[in-house]
Amino acid sequence: MRYAQVLGSAAAIAGYAFAQEGEVQSTVVYDAETKISYSSYTDSKTGMTFGVALPKNVTDPYDAIIRITAPVANQWVGFAWGGTMVWNPLSVAWPNGQSGTTSARFAFGIGLPQGYDQAEHTYLKGTKTNSTHWTVNALCKGCTGWRNNEDTRYALNGTGTTQFAWAYGLSAVEDPARNDSAFNVHEAYGKWIHSMEAARIDNFDSLVKINLLTAPVATPSTAPTTIVTSVAPSATAKPAAPDAIPASCSGAGSPVFPGNLAAGWKATKIAGGLTSPRSIQFDSAGNMLVVQSGKGISYHKIGMDGCVTSTKMLLSQNNLNHGLAMSPDGKTLYASSMTQVYSWLYDAAAATLGTRTVIVTGMVNGGSHLTRTLALAPQNANLLVVSHGSNANIDTDASDPKTGRAIIKVFDLTKVPSGGYTYASSGYNAGYGQRNEVGICFDKNNMLWGVENSGDDFKRNGKDIHQNNPGEKINYLGDVTKPNDQWYGYPTCFTVWQPSDFTDKTFKVGDWFVQTPTTSMNDDTCTQKATAPKLTLFPHSAPIDCKFDVDSTTMYITYHGSWNRAPVTGFKLVAIQFKLGADGNYTPVEPLTSTSAAKDIFYNPAVEKCAGNGPSFSSGCFRPAGLAWDSQGRLFMTSDTSSNGEVWILGFDSLTIFATRLPRAVLFQPLRDLQAINLTSIFLLLVLIIICCALKIDRAQHLSLNHVSARLGYSANEGRHLMTSVFRGIERPLHFARVAYKNGGPAIIDTIEEATKVRWVSKQR
Ligand code: HEM
């Protein structure tokens, strides 16, 4: 699912008052208090006024004064400098006590606009709130020109007319004193044509100077906001901390939201205050690169302990929004915007990039799905894989792969044409008909897998089934060195998650279905024509990244969470167990009919309180996004909660590692089923280990208890007592059990003997 971002009721996104092109609706209004003449527009229905004043010289870049006045009922008001919600600077303002607050924002998709550091507001006189209205008056540097989504500069014509847009909300912002506060979706928005020429005034600079407020009305804050600090469940026993994961990282700040961890896992926040951090990539020197959507790529030096020791921006380029990949030699970096893929020569030690090259261009500019995930084929680093989602929830035309939507394509980096490949007409397919395969990852055989965000608002023959259908999917895409022209079902065929929602037919989990069956296109047609997923996942989980572990026995997936379900779901890191099949291919352990394959690893304690997107202050929860392993096998994860993005380091302790190395049929599955560590589960696990070892010992030739006892100089009874002791309380039981189990043969004697040397055993001799 993951439908661009957000929602809202019809009322919340109502738009009206669209101006006819060229019909100037602003007039000049003189303000006696500041002595500034504004080119001013008043919206008669809402009672809001927007005044703009410019210097005479309007050569790009030039400053502007923006004055917003609104009734006190309007708890926030936005002014869009390019006349749209997305891809232009927004001056958002709200009342704050007897004063006001303004904030520079930029929206890259339909959702809470994030802070925009390319524009800066300075408060001017007139900023105040009374019993009926509030006004924010500010100088803005950086509002009249910006980089558009093709990363080229766009500047307002200061001598002509332009379309601006307003929006306002009726619910209070999260914290009126903070200009990085989150706020809810608007009640309404509108647009008008404004004269820029009439906004040009004499003495702009001196009028700014005499109107500067001596003290800021509200303190802008860049520091992380700590909302809640607890991370691990407190009611249960904690696993021992693995050495590889730091207990804490100074300077990272406290976790913004609480989180729970599965048994044996440890998670520590290593960075905070990032802007929508998405994909992560480690370079050849172990530095961590993070794409911050709407900002660029940051470079983080990582200490031995896993904490960040220093951070800098490697690249400021605000159209980058998700994709990031590195050549295996570590010398070329790839990143994507909604419309293009770029590459740069990269120097890991110097933390510098060379000149930018456009590799792919012409990807859809807009629509519902804005990310273009990148990966390089491990078996041929000249092959770049680029995933491109559909253009809408149901993008009918995307059934044709030639549209270049709902598809994954592969491009040969040795033959990039000047100006780059055109996405839709170039490259070859790694499957098509995937609605939005945001996460793609390679297994140990170098075969590509993808996690697909499936549809929203689903019906079957008119009956609403959206709450628990369709399932998200794990698709096997295979060998990307060869074209894969298989169809994966979208925009017609979807998979069942909750069969009981279907009243016209009996389904199993994972069966294909269509929303409205016809004689020519029905569930059976899907079975015949579409490539089935390997597993279905909980609907509306919004999986957006996947990574296999080193032996491809586990796939980790970030569930970003979404809005199209009540209560919401997702907002967690999960793990899915894989196995190597007899045919030499990896496959999920659980069958397509399973609804329990995904095990929670790091999750929000009350997911029903998380908000799927924008209309609330923020998600209210951490939102897992990108994943990456470092060279030490530590797992890094971003959380892109827009007001304060974080990076986490995760690892599991020896208990879990140990369990994964024992025969899976015996120990692994029961352990995985434990959702939280507690004393009972530890006890049961130890009993299981003892039984395992005892069985193994019994089976081994000449290794009966009597024999062991004899070798150790005990009677059979003494030996039995000793064995029980050795494997009960114990300083190193897991180690002994593991070695004993692994070695099996006569070496177990030595192991037992070694056990007898420990102090507390010796006491019993
Ligand atoms: C929490 C923050 C916000 C949310 C969740 C949000 C959400 C939305 C949604 C869902 C739409 C409808 C899109 C469609 O029908 O295609 C929309 C449209 C729009 N929004 Fe927002 N919005 C937010 C903040 C803002 C702000 C601060 C502005 C500032 C002016 C703004 C201006 C607009 C405009 C002008 C449109 C019309 C579409 C366009 O021309 O871009 N929005 N918004």
Is the distance from CB of 181 to CB of 103 less than 8 angstroms?
A: yes
Residue 441's beta-bridge partner residues?
A: 449
Closest CA to 41 of 247, 226, 190: 190
Q: What is the pLDDT of residue 649?
A: 96
Is the distance from CB of 546 to CB of 588 less than 8 angstroms?
A: no
CA trace torsion 15, 21, 22, 26 (10° rounding): 0
* DSSP helix/strand/coil, 439: strand
Q: What is the mean pLDDT of each run of 10 residues along the chain (765 residues)?
A: 34 45 89 97 97 98 98 98 95 96 90 86 96 97 93 94 97 88 90 97 96 62 25 25 79 91 92 94 97 95 95 95 96 97 97 97 89 97 97 95 98 97 98 98 97 96 96 98 98 98 97 97 97 97 96 95 86 96 96 96 90 58 95 92 86 50 27 41 70 51 44 50 42 43 51 48 33
Residue tagged 């400021």 (tokens):
316
Q: What is the pLDDT of residue 753?
A: 53
Peptide linkage before 239 cis (omega within 30 of 0):
no
CA trace torsion 431, 435, 438, 439 (10° rounding): -60
How far is 642 from 263, CA to CA, in rounded Å? 29
Q: What is the pLDDT of residue 618?
A: 58
Calculate how far, in angstroms, residue 10's C-alpha sits from the geometric centre of ligand 1.
Answer: 12
- CA 74 to centroid of chain Cα atoms: 32
Q: What is the pLDDT of residue 263?
A: 86
Which DSSP symbol is given to 465?
Answer: -
Which class does domain 11-211 fall in? mainly beta
Burial of 758 (0-12, 13-18, 19+ CB in 10 A): middle
Residue tagged 């709450």 (tokens):
467
Peptide linkage before 470 cis (omega within 30 of 0):
yes
Calculate how far, in angstroms, residue 31's C-alpha sits from the geometric centre of ligand 1.
Answer: 30
Calculate how far, in angstroms, residue 368's C-alpha sits from the geometric centre of ligand 1.
Answer: 14
Got the DSSP string for 630-667?
Answer: -TTS-EEEEE--TTSEEEEEEEE-HHHHHHHHS-IIII
Residue 543's beta-bridge partner residues?
A: 559
Q: What is the pLDDT of residue 682?
A: 64
* DSSP helix/strand/coil, 555: strand
Calculate how far, in angstroms, residue 168's C-alpha sits from the geometric centre of ligand 1.
Answer: 10
Burial of 100 (0-12, 13-18, 19+ CB in 10 A): buried
| Burial letters 678-711, b for 16+ CB under 10 A, else e | eeebbeebbebbbebbeebbeebeebebebbbeb
Q: Whose CA is nearest to atom 34 of ligand 1?
A: 85
**Do the bridges between strand 380-388 and strand 459-460 make them parallel or antiparallel, or are there none, so unpaired?**
unpaired
User: 599 is written with which tokens?
Assistant: 């095990």
Q: Whose CA is nearest to atom 21 of ligand 1?
A: 85
CA distances from 585 to 292, 376, 379, 482 (A): 35, 20, 16, 17
Calculate how far, in angstroms, residue 114's C-alpha sits from the geometric centre of ligand 1.
Answer: 13
Is the distance from CB of 37 to CB of 30 less than 8 angstroms?
A: yes
Residue 484's beta-bridge partner residues?
A: 430
Mutate to test the pocket of ligand 1, among 84, 103, 110, 174 (most ligand atoms within 8 A of CB): 110
The CATH number that domain 260-663 falls under is 2.120.10.30
Q: What is the pLDDT of residue 182?
A: 83
Residue 343's beta-bridge partner residues?
A: 334, 357
Calculate how far, in angstroms, residue 363's C-alpha sits from the geometric centre of ligand 1.
Answer: 23
Is the distance from CB of 592 to CB of 535 less than 8 angstroms?
A: yes
Calculate how far, in angstroms, residue 366's C-alpha sits from the geometric centre of ligand 1.
Answer: 14
DSSP H or E segment with residue 438: none
The count of residues in the chain is 765
Which DSSP symbol is given to 530?
Answer: S
* DSSP helix/strand/coil, 173: coil
Specify the ligand 1 atom closest to the Cα of 614. 5
Residue 120's beta-bridge partner residues?
A: 141
Evaluate whether 11-211 and 260-663 have a shared fold.
Answer: no
How far is 66 from 58, CA to CA, in rounded Å? 15
How far is 242 from 248, CA to CA, in rounded Å? 13
Is the distance from CB of 600 to CB of 574 less than 8 angstroms?
A: yes
Q: Whose CA is nearest to atom 11 of ligand 1?
A: 13
User: 4 is written with which tokens?
Assistant: 């661009």
| Burial letters 178-193, b for 16+ CB under 10 A, else e | bbbbbbbbbbbbbbbb
User: 638 is written with which tokens?
Assistant: 């971003």
Calculate how far, in angstroms, residue 527's C-alpha sits from the geometric centre of ligand 1.
Answer: 40
Q: What is the pLDDT of residue 752?
A: 52
Residues flanking ligand 1, CB < 6 Å: 6, 8, 13, 15, 78, 80, 84-86, 90, 92, 110-113, 165-167, 183-186, 189, 614-615
Got the DSSP string for 483-529?
Answer: -EEEE--TTT-EE-S-GGG-SSS---TT-EE-SS--SSSSHHHHHHH
% helix, strand, coil for the chain, step of 5: 15, 35, 50
| Burial letters 117-153, b for 16+ CB under 10 A, else e | ebbebbbbbbbbbeeebbbbbbbbebbbbbbebebee
User: 492 is written with which tokens?
Assistant: 């017609």
Please state the domain extents for the chain.
Answer: 11-211, 260-663, 678-762
Burial of 356 (0-12, 13-18, 19+ CB in 10 A): middle
How far is 386 from 407, CA to CA, in rounded Å? 9
Mutate to test the pocket of ligand 1, among 170, 189, 617 (most ligand atoms within 8 A of CB): 189
Is the distance from CB of 274 to CB of 643 less than 8 angstroms?
A: no
- At 59, the amino acid letter reads T
